Amino acid sequence: MTSLNISNVSKSFGSARVLEDISLTINDGEFISLVGPSGCGKSTLLRIIAGLESQDAGTIALGERAIDGVRPSRRNLAMVFQSYALYPHLTVAQNIGVPLTMRQLSHWERLPVVGRFLPGAAAKRRIIRAAVEEAARSLDIGHLLDRKPGQLSGGQRQRVAVGRALVRQPEAFLLDEPLSNLDAKLRVHMRTEIAELHRTLGATFIYVTHDQAEAMTMSDRIAVMMHGRLLQVAPPHEVYSDPTNIAVAEFIGSPKINTFPAEVAGDGTAIVMGAALGRVQNGYRGAATIGVRPESLRIGQPPGRLAGTLRHVENLGNEYFLHVEVDGLPSRVVARVGHDHAPFSLGAPVGLDWPAGRAHVFDQAGGQIGRVNGAVSPFVGVVNG
Amino acid sequence: MANSGTQARAIPYLFSLPALLLILALLLLPMLISLGLSLTDYTLGAPDVEFVWFENFERIFTRSTYMKMLSATFWYVIIVVPGSIALGLGAALLINSLTVGKGFYRTVFFLPVMATLVAMAMVWEFMLHPTLGIVNEGLEGLCAVPGITAIGFFETGCADGFPHWLGERETALWVLCFIGIWQAVGFNMVLYMAGLTAIPRELYNAASVDGADSAWDRFRLVTWPMLGPTNVFVLTITAIRSFQAFDTVDMLTEGGPSKSTYVIMYAIFEKGVQQNLIGVGTAITVLFMAFVFLLTFLQRYLVERRVHYA
């Protein structure tokens, strides 16, 4: 098997630019997630890889072999669709077998009734049947082979769709939001199953999702996309702890990262709403945004680094989300604290604090958040503490 | 309390009573009456009526006129139904694949459905006129093409004149079938276009990833099976409408020549209305209803069960 190379791919629908100069190399056997909000172009990119759309510019190559203009069926890539796209008139066994029957049987051999009596057809069908049963067994749907998709639950249909991809032994699996039609509990379960399937098969998985939790939990690498651009491609922990862009920082992680408008003074001191918070060891000066993850925030006695008022508490059983209103900030700051935290009283003045090196600084080049060439992070060296 | 309980149980029946009465008066009763009349020799205004039991039906199945009626009806249905369904589906597939001009073609194909068939039949009559009609004039014009007489049809046509279409036993029914198909294609096309829009795009995507490379493969794997419910509906509707063919027969041939286009609807009209033989007329009607019931039954219990995948 080989790597998949996407170079300088662009795509427009009419005047809407959906993909802008995407370049990405996906390694052999890697599980990569394309993640981003809806409309960011991730599904279009997947469909271009599959051959269901054609790009306006750029090249897709499997190893050295460019596959632009190659029919979807000849790319040796299997796809799992969001709606599963099972053929409702065929049984589960026939559904899983379709990629094999379409490839290995001739037109004549596929004819109903007559086809069965052609020399060699029966033997081919036996081989296909064996492959289908093997795939079904590995997905635990061996007992459903004679049912129609209409008689299956959502989770079972999902497995059939995966089985249909599996049976071809493709070079790579393309999965387009395969879990989004399942209920929350099943989704978490299938997350593990798909990750384990990937480990067992060792094949390349390209997984499109808008759910950052799916991307974080399953992937070797995450490719965060927004407005048709690739913002960051990195392993999950790196995307989380070292986002290159404020848009990435805000998209990955729940609850969302807290952001504060800031100013980096001439001597490198970061100032948030008049309070000097520390020093930025970087040449950057001027308007900036500081981002602090909810779990990095500590709630204590005022004043702390920033003073605010406790407005709301969300109890999740094992932890609390504390909503703190800070004067001059448009949205409330959310802190995530353990269950052993001291009791709170709503309306009480509190002080917000965070350890040195846990705040990310993002520049505001051209006044636009999200158009940064690398974040000025981490925020190091706390002075005036 | 017991009283109010009975009342509560009676209320649903009271609510459905008007509908039940209407169904009885407008649908069931007329059917029962015609069933009864078909067993008599009733004629409108006759002083006395006698039960002749199955004599009318016996006539239908023994006399050559009615055998011709059954044969004409059979051939009309057996040609118009598959013809208009195949062409309707073909037109729908072609129009559906267009990027521009969909609305134009849809309207053009649908025009014969919206037009009054009686008026259209008159136009067909002019066109098919043996000597003045555009059809035969056009064919005669083709006689000037060198070598065309090699085709048997033109060889006899150019020498002895082209067929009189509606005036000849050999051609009249086929011409009516042609007009029937021409008229039904647009309706079937619209039904199929609706059916095609309901097919999810992802199925076609899956099919092309799975290796359905040719248009025929995609048609066999996705389009045709997914059109199952539409097929059943179109088949039933077209069959019933073909059984009901009347306007063109009445306008163009009046069942002739020599009963070659004597289809069942026209026979009902001729016997029951023109000749005032209500007994025979209703007997044919009962036969007609039996056909329609059979078709509906087929749709309901045989085909529908196999084409809905819910």
Q: Are residues A166 and A270 in the same domain?
A: no
Q: How far does CA A168 lie from the centroid of its chain?
A: 25
Q: Are residues A276 and A302 in the same domain?
A: yes
Average model confidence (pLDDT) across chain A: 83
Indicate whether A170 belongs to any domain. yes
pLDDT of residue A376: 34
- Tell me: pLDDT of A288 over 70: yes
Domain limits at A15?
4-240
Backbone φ/ψ region at A22: left (φ over 0), alpha (ψ -120 to 50), beta: beta
Angle at A170 between CA A168 and CA A172, to 5 degrees: 145
Nearest chain A residue to B206 by CA distance is: A85
**CA separation for the pair A110, B210 (Å, rounded):** 14
> Is B171 in a helix, a strand, or coil?
coil
**CA separation for the pair A244, B143 (Å, rounded):** 82
Q: Which of B202, B208, B309 sits opposite A150 (nearest CB)?
A: B309
Within chain B, how many helices (H) and strands (E) appear? 17, 0
Residue A159, both tokens: 């497995």
Confidence of residue B189 (pLDDT cuts 50, 70, 90): very high
pLDDT of residue B309: 60
pLDDT of residue B196: 92
Count: domains in chain A = 2
pLDDT of residue B91: 92
- Tell me: pLDDT of A366 over 60: no
Q: Are residues A132 and A39 in the same domain?
A: yes
- The residue count for chain B: 310
Is the distance from CB of A92 to CB of A153 less than 8 angstroms?
no
- Tell me: pLDDT of A99 over 60: yes
Task: Tell me the mean pLDDT in the region A344-370.
Answer: 71
Minimal Cα–Cα distance from B66 to chain A, Å? 40
Indicate whether A246 belongs to any domain. no
**CA separation for the pair B114, B41 (Å, rounded):** 40
A-B interface: how many C-beta pairs under 8 angstroms? 68
pLDDT one-digit tens code per residue, B136-173? 778 777 777 777 777 777 777 777 777 778 777 778 88
Indicate whether A247 belongs to any domain. no
Q: A210: closest CA among A48, A352, A371, A46?
A: A46
Domain boundary among A207, A240, A273: A240
The verdict on a CB contact (< 8 Å) between B309 and A89 is: yes
pLDDT of residue B2: 53
Q: Which of B208, B211, B225 sits opposite A87 (nearest CB)?
A: B225
Q: Are residues A31 and A164 in the same domain?
A: yes
Minimal Cα–Cα distance from B234 to chain A, Å? 19
pLDDT one-digit tens code per residue, B17-46? 999 999 999 999 998 988 888 888 777 777
Rounded alpha-carbon distances, angstroms, from residue B130 to A246, B27, B118, B169: 84, 44, 20, 14
pLDDT one-digit tens code per residue, B52-78? 888 778 887 888 788 888 888 899 999
Q: Which of A52, A71, A99 sits opposite B213 (nearest CB)?
A: A71
Task: Tell me the mean pLDDT in the region B230-244.
Answer: 88
Confidence of residue A118 (pLDDT cuts 50, 70, 90): confident
- The residue count for chain A: 385
Indicate whether A245 belongs to any domain. no
Q: Is A135 exposed, middle or buried (0-12, 13-18, 19+ CB in 10 A)?
A: buried
Q: Which of B205, B209, B222 sits opposite A78 (nearest CB)?
A: B209
Minimal Cα–Cα distance from A333 to chain B, Å? 42
Residue A378, both tokens: 């981490």
Helix/strand/coil (H, E, C) string of A207-258?
A: EEECCHHHHHHHCCEEEEEECCEEEEEECHHHHHHCCCCHHHHHHCCCCCCE
Task: Tell me the mean pLDDT in the region A309-317.
Answer: 89
pLDDT of residue B24: 93
Domain boundary among A240, A263, A287: A240
| Neighbouring residues of B236: CB distance < 8 A, sequence distance ≥ 6 | B295, B296, B298, B299
A149 touches chain B (CB under 8 A): yes
Indicate whether A120 belongs to any domain. yes
Q: Is A10 exposed, middle or buried (0-12, 13-18, 19+ CB in 10 A)?
A: middle
pLDDT of residue B15: 92
- Tell me: pLDDT of B271 over 90: no
Angle at A118 between CA A117 and CA A124, to 5 degrees: 100
pLDDT of residue A75: 86
Residues of chain A with pLDDT > 70, as a percent, come to 91
CATH number, residue A80: 3.40.50.300
Is the distance from CB of A205 to CB of A173 less than 8 angstroms?
yes
Above 0.85 for ipTM, yes or no? no
Q: Are residues A197 and A317 in the same domain?
A: no
Nearest chain B residue to A52 by CA distance is: B205
A87 touches chain B (CB under 8 A): yes
Task: Tell me the mean pLDDT in the region A341-350.
Answer: 82
Nearest chain B residue to A88 by CA distance is: B309
- Mutate which of A87, A109, A148 to test chain B, going by most B C-beta atoms within 10 A? A87
Domains annotated on chain B, with CATH: 54-307 (1.10.3720.10)
Query: Is the pLDDT higher at B181 or at A276?
Result: B181
Q: Are residues A168 and A259 in the same domain?
A: no
pLDDT of residue B305: 66
pLDDT one-digit tens code per residue, A27-72? 999 999 999 988 888 999 999 999 998 889 989 988 888 888 888 8
A371 touches chain B (CB under 8 A): no
- Tell me: pLDDT of A206 over 90: yes
Phi, psi of A178 (to 5 degrees): -70, -20
- Tell me: pLDDT of B192 over 90: yes
Domain boundary among A240, A268, A289: A240
Q: Are residues A284 and A361 in the same domain?
A: yes
Instruction: Give the global pTM.
Output: 0.78
Chain A residues with beta carbon closer than 8 angstroms to that of B213: 71, 73
Confidence of residue B306 (pLDDT cuts 50, 70, 90): low
Residues of chain B with pLDDT > 70, as a percent, come to 96
Indicate whether A176 belongs to any domain. yes
Q: Are residues A311 and A183 in the same domain?
A: no
pLDDT of residue A204: 92
Q: Are residues A219 and A260 in the same domain?
A: no
pLDDT of residue B304: 61
Tell me which residues of chain B have a C-beta less than 8 Å from any C-beta of chain A.
200, 202-203, 205-206, 208-213, 217, 220-222, 225-226, 228, 309-310
Torsion of CA A23, A26, A31, A36, to 10 degrees: 0
Indicate whether A249 belongs to any domain. no
- Residue A188 is given by DSSP the state H
What is the identity of the amino acid at B278?
I
Q: Are residues A346 and A233 in the same domain?
A: no
The verdict on a CB contact (< 8 Å) between A164 and B202 is: no
Q: Are residues A11 and A139 in the same domain?
A: yes
pLDDT of residue A378: 37
**CA separation for the pair B292, B69 (Å, rounded):** 16
CATH number, residue A338: 2.40.50.140
The verdict on a CB contact (< 8 Å) between B211 and A73 is: yes
Task: Tell me the mean pLDDT in the region A222-228.
Answer: 91
Q: Are residues A265 and A375 in the same domain?
A: yes
The verdict on a CB contact (< 8 Å) between B217 and A102 is: yes
Chain B residues with beta carbon closer than 8 angstroms to that of A149: 309
